[in-house]
Structure 1
Amino acid sequence: MFSQFLPQRIDNAYRGHRLALWLFGAVVFMKTSIGLGTIFNGRTAAISADAIPLETFPPAAAQAFLSVFAIWGFAQVMIGLLCILALVRYRAMVPFMFALLLLEHLGRKLILYYMPIAKTGTPPGLFINLALVAAMIVGLVLALRTENHAQALR
């Protein structure tokens, strides 16, 4: 199983379950779209999706928050481009990229647990993030299962 995380040859030979590729594509599309949204429409994303009360911030603080939010969005887009590269050209890296996406997401949640941002109510983006985490976990498990292993269980 560890050899699937870090294969000796990074090529287009994918050994996991095919459904994981579809889940990976959907997760990457969603996360890249969210990243682009925070770059080009950060104020609306912060207020509506994340329930961050920007209107209560001083103007300089709101601008600083939106700048950091856009920088985070850019990082998401860069990770998304690496994931697209893995999906198109280096499919052997799909399990590793699933794990990287999951680790990045859980790392952000851990940081926000210790350094929370004030919010108004339950943000609707929470449910999208829960669905993404579930898809990443299922996708990682499927990506680590080889097709031969799945056929042997039948």
Structure 2
Amino acid sequence: MFKFNLLPSPADNIYRGNKIALWFFIAFVCLMTWRSIIHMLFEKFGMHEIANLAVLSGDPDPMPLIYMFFSLWGFAQLIFCGVCWIVIFRYKSLIPLMLVFWLIEWSGRLFLYPFIGRATVDSGIYSTGNTPGVEGAPYVTILLVIFLILSLREKK
């Protein structure tokens, strides 16, 4: 039976959904934590080798500022991953809510990016190819929907 209770009272460490969704969530948070660390600490590698963004030139050199913002973005991602790790270890009943938050982020790549200037990045002037986040967004969104539904399905 599905119980659409994203804000259980009390928020406890009793996970009521399908175990496969729990293990998916843990693996997904591991991957997102790794992604966040790469963005934060290895911003040049993450930006050019993974995200395929071009090196810009100018006077003054714009790249240090761009790297700083890329690193701050990784830090913001890492903060959210930290919240997810707290949920995994202490408040498992909130896992469906965390999956909703991840679903908002990843589906935003599909539905918002086309309207907020993605064409500029895709023009080839600023990039050498698509980012893995853009390429994988449809698949990750589908997986998140599936595992959200499974996380809401209570054990008998």
Task: Provide TM-score, normalisation by structure 2.
Answer: 0.82
1:53 alignment counterpart: 54
The offset of 1:127, in angstroms, is 4.4
Q: Residues 125 and 104 (structure 1 numbering): CA distance in 2 closer, same or farther, change over 3 Å? A: closer
1:2 alignment counterpart: 4
What whole-Å deviation, never above 9, does each CA across 1:74-103 have from its counterpart, x for those lacking one?
A: 111111111011111100000000101111
Task: Judging by fraction of residues, say which structure has more helix.
Answer: 1
Structure 1, unpaired ranges of 5+: 149-154
Superposition CA RMSD, Å:
2.1
1:78 alignment counterpart: 79
1:19 alignment counterpart: 20
- Quote the Cα distance in structure 2 between the aligned partners of 1:134 and 1:46: 26
Alignment of 1:1-154 (within 5 A): 1-3=3-5, 5-54=6-55, 56-58=56-58, 60-107=61-108, 110-113=111-114, 114-116=116-118, 117=121, 118-148=126-156
- Quote the Cα distance in structure 2 between the aligned partners of 1:147 and 1:17: 7
- Quote the Cα distance in structure 1 between the aligned partners of 2:109 and 2:131: 16
Number of residue pairs aligned between Structure 1 and Structure 2 = 146
Partner of 1:7: helix, strand, or coil?
coil
Structure 2, unpaired ranges of 5+: none
Q: Residues 73 and 10 (structure 1 numbering): CA distance in 2 closer, same or farther, change over 3 Å? A: same
Task: Provide TM-score, normalisation by structure 1.
Answer: 0.83
- Quote the Cα distance in structure 1 between the aligned partners of 2:127 and 2:38: 19
The offset of 1:122, in angstroms, is 3.2
The offset of 1:12, in angstroms, is 0.8
- Quote the Cα distance in structure 2 between the aligned partners of 1:119 and 1:14: 42
Identity of aligned residues (%): 27
Q: Residues 14 and 124 (structure 1 numbering): CA distance in 2 closer, same or farther, change over 3 Å? A: closer
- Quote the Cα distance in structure 1 between the aligned partners of 2:106 and 2:68: 20
- Report if the CA contact (8 A) 2:109-2:137 is conserved: no
- Report if the CA contact (8 A) 2:107-2:138 is conserved: no
The offset of 1:128, in angstroms, is 4.9
Q: Residues 73 and 81 (structure 1 numbering): CA distance in 2 closer, same or farther, change over 3 Å? A: same
Which AA in structure 2 matches 1:74?
F
- Quote the Cα distance in structure 2 between the aligned partners of 1:95 and 1:57: 44
